[in-house]
Chain A
Amino acid sequence: MTDKTLILIRHAPHGTSFAREGIEAALVGGAMGMAVDIVFAGDGVFCLLPDQSAGALGQKGTLPMIKALPMYDIETIFVDRVALQQRGLEVSALAVDAIECELASVTASYRQIVSF
Chain B
Amino acid sequence: MKYTLIVYGAPYSSQAAHSALRFARALPGLGHTVATVFFYHDGVYNASTLITPPQDEPHLNQAWAELKTTQGCELLVCVAAALKRGVMNDAEARRHGGEVHNLGEPFELTGVGQLLASAQSSDRTVTFAP
Contacts and interface: CB of A to CB of B under 8 A. Distances in A.
Interface residues of B, number: 18
Contacts of A34: 113, 116-117, 120
Contacts of B81: 21
B8 interface: yes
Contacts of B6: 114-115
A24 B116 contact: no
| Residue among A3, A21, A31 with most chain B CB within 10 A | A21
B81 to A, nearest CB: 7
Interface residues of A, number: 17
Nearest to A8: B127
A1 interface: no
A17 interface: yes
Given A21-B112, A28-B116, A34-B116, 15 more contacts: A5-B116, A5-B120, A18-B41, A18-B129, A25-B116, A29-B116, A32-B113, A32-B117, A34-B117, A112-B119, A112-B120, A113-B125, A114-B115, A115-B6, A115-B129
